[in-house]
Chains A and B, each alone.
Chain A
C-alpha cells in the first residue's frame, strides 16, 4: 500500500474562483470519506462514498460543493464560487472492511485551501 494521496497539498485562490481537489485512496479500498478541518478544530465529516456511489452528505456540504468518485477509484471535491469561510484543510480517508466488520480509516496528508 502506498497510502492515501491528495493533490494539491496547498491551494491559494481568490474569492469567487472554483477549485478542485483530488484524492487517491489506498488501492482496493471501497470506502472513501471527505472531512474538513478548520484551524483549532477537529475534522468534520463532509461526505462518504462506497465504491462509486455517494451515500451520505453532511449539511456542511452546501450546494457549492460537489464530490465525485467515478469508477470507484479516485475522488474529486470541487468548490464553486469559493468564499473566505471555505479556507480549511480538506482531508480524505479510505477504508476497507476487516473480518471484524471494523472499517479503519486511513487519512491522506490533506489539501490546505486558502481563499483570499
Chain B
C-alpha cells in the first residue's frame, strides 16, 4: 500500500521568501510522485512530476522538487513566493505500473503575505 504524509496543514511565508512544502511517501514499489495545486473551487493542476528520471524536477511557475529515496521525501520548493502562489498544494504518489491511481496527502495551504 502507498501513502503520503504532508507535514504542516498551513504554511505562511512573506512575498519574496523561500517556499518549502514537505512531503514524505511510503511505497513498496518504485513510485511516481506528483505535486498538484488547487485554487478555491477548482480542480487540480499538475505542478511537476517525478517518474524515475532526474531526481531534481522542475515544474511550472518556478517550482521544483527533489526526490530523495534515502529519506523517502519529495519536498516542493520555490525560491521566491508570489502572492498568486497562495493555494492548496497536494503531494501524490502512484505505482509505476498498473493503472496508476493517485494516492494523495491531506494537503498544505500556502498563505503569502505582502
Residues of A within 8 A of B (CB): 4, 6, 31, 33, 35, 40-45, 48, 50, 55-56, 91, 93, 95, 100-110, 112
Contacts and interface: CB of A to CB of B under 8 A. Distances in A.
14 contacts: A4-B43, A40-B107, A42-B104, A45-B101, A45-B102, A48-B101, A55-B99, A95-B100, A102-B49, A102-B100, A103-B100, A110-B41, A110-B42, A110-B43
Given A43-B90, A110-B43, 5 more contacts: A33-B102, A35-B102, A45-B101, A93-B102, A107-B43
Contacts, number: 65
Contacts of A50: 99
A91 B51 contact: no
Contact of A42 (B45, B51, B53, B92): B92
B46 interface: yes
By secondary structure, the A interface counts as strand
Contact of B46 (A6, A100, A106): A106
Given A91-B43, A100-B51, A102-B51, A41 B106 contact: yes
Contacts of A45: 101-103
B100 to A, nearest CB: 5
B15 to A, nearest CB: 26
A56 B101 contact: yes
Listed from nearest, the 8 A-B pairs whose CB atoms lie closest are A42-B104, A107-B43, A107-B44, A45-B101, A109-B43, A102-B51, A103-B100, A110-B43
A107 B44 CA distance: 6
Given A100-B51, A106-B46, A31 B99 contact: yes
B101 A33 contact: yes
A104 B49 contact: yes
A112 B44 contact: no
B58 to A, nearest CB: 16
